[in-house]
Amino acid sequence: MASSGAYSYQPTTYQLIQGAARLVSAIQTGETLPDDEYADMLFALNGMISAWQASGIHVWSQLDATLFLQPGQILYQLGDGSPDRCCATSAWLQTANTVFANTGATSITVAETTTVNPNQGAPNTILSGDHFGVWLDDGTIFWTTVAGAPSGFSVPIATPLPSPASSGAQIVDYTADLVRPLRVPQMRRYTFAAPGGSPIETPMSSYSQLDYAQVPNKNTPGTPTAGFFQPTLGLAQASIWPNPDSSLWAVKFTAQRPLQDFLTQGNTADLPIEWSSAIRFNLAKEISLEYDVPADRSQRIKDEADEKFAVVQMWDREPQSVYFGVQSFPSVRN
């Protein structure tokens, strides 16, 4: 017999919860869980997945992000709705202003409205509502939003320019802010190049809170060489040291993002398919006390759940880095 050739198996929230309910004998095959019990198990499922975020950096939930620096600014907030600008590295595009824009300008003429991202090779397009950054002649980055679809190469902006931007000034555009990261284990200083040029990445030190507290001269302008990430409630925070003295730098970093919630019965897990059985058995373990599962059966469920979790947790970690310190990294030209 021939194999199916299919790779589409992906159980839904409903199927995972029904499966866990059968394991604890809340229902039998063919029965449907009552709405109130389904809601209780959905609550338990989301709590369990949230707790799993603390088990380590999962390969599939790592992403590369870019934080755009402002001269003189040390502390940045990270997460949706932040006043600071940070997004997935693959999501932003770089172009240039092609016509001098004076104070009060409400549109910017750019070289391109669709570009291939220099970091990922993915095409990105300027869209209405995007975050739009203009490098002003005073050395700062002015951030606004795109106020409608571009007309040719003219991009309307929501807030007039506060000061001039010369022809050739750098432009950056992206659509969505970075979701609040859980961890940032690694940072690199990113030196912008002119469109079509070769940017440079240089590894930075990632400090603990104690290390960062002891570094001197936090307000003295300089070239950023280190950073401190703090996963505070609400928006996370990143502190950059020394105080950046130029807008020609950004910080690129590897981040662990949160795992997505289960909201509807048709949602699938924000985990690889190999986690499906582990989710079902661990949810059964999570709810077994609520259903007064007999001790011997509860122990069997726990043993199966722990074994399945251990197998997939070991599988989803990437190999250990061959680098043991930032001093071993040279600067890298992209």
Please, how many CA atoms are within 13 Å of residue 229, restricted to the half-sphere of its CB? 22
Confidence label for 28 from pLDDT (cuts 50, 70 and 90) = very high
d(CA 56, CA 42) in angstroms, rounded, equals 23
CA separation, residue 65 to residues 2, 51, 87, 283 (Å): 43, 24, 6, 32
**Sequential DSSP letters for 48-59:** HHHHHGGG---G
Q: How far apart are CA 326 and CA 300, in angstroms?
A: 46
Is pLDDT at 323 greater than 90 in this prediction?
A: no
Query: Would you say residue 123 has pLDDT above 50?
Result: yes
The pLDDT confidence band at residue 321, using thresholds 50, 70 and 90, is low
Q: CB within 8 A of 6, min separation 6: which ones?
A: none
Considering the chain, what is the average pLDDT of its residues?
A: 91
Closest C-alpha among 115, 109, 140 to residue 194? 115
Rounded mean pLDDT of 180-187? Answer: 93
Quick one: DSSP state of residue 211? H
H runs (alpha helix) in the chain: 13-23, 35-52, 209-214, 276-287, 295-315
Q: What pLDDT is stored for residue 121 in this prediction? A: 59
Q: What are phi and psi of 204, to 5 degrees?
A: -115, 155
Taking residue 48's Cβ as centre, other Cβ atoms within 10 Å add up to 15
Contacts of 48 (CB under 8 A, 6+ apart): 282, 283, 286
Phi, then psi, of 238 in degrees rounded to 5: -130, 130
Alpha-carbon 295 to chain mean position:
42
- Quick one: average pLDDT of 188-204? 88
Backbone angles phi, psi at 240, to 5 degrees: -110, 135
Q: Helices 35-52 and 13-23: crossing angle, nearest 10°?
A: 100
Angle at 83 between CA 81 and CA 89, to 5 degrees: 75
More confident residue, 214 or 115: 214
pLDDT of residue 315: 83
Tell me the torsion sign for CA atoms 88, 91, 96, 98.
negative
Predicted local distance difference test score (pLDDT) of residue 269: 95
- Residue-wise pLDDT tens digits, 238-282: 999 999 999 999 999 999 999 999 999 999 999 999 999 999 999
- Which of 139-143, 156-160, 161-165, 311-315 bottoms out in mean pLDDT, i.e. has the lowest? 311-315
Residue 268 pLDDT: 96
Per-domain boundaries in the chain: 24-58+261-315, 61-258
List, as one string, the DSSP characters of 252-320: EEEEEPPPPPP-STT-B-SS-GGGHHHHHHHHHHHHTTTTT--HHHHHHHHHHHHHHHHHHHHHTSPPP
CA 193-125-151 angle, 5° bins: 105
- Lowest model confidence (mean pLDDT) among 98-107, 127-136, 315-324: 315-324
Per-residue pLDDT reduced to its tens digit, 47-74: 999 999 988 757 888 999 999 999 999 9
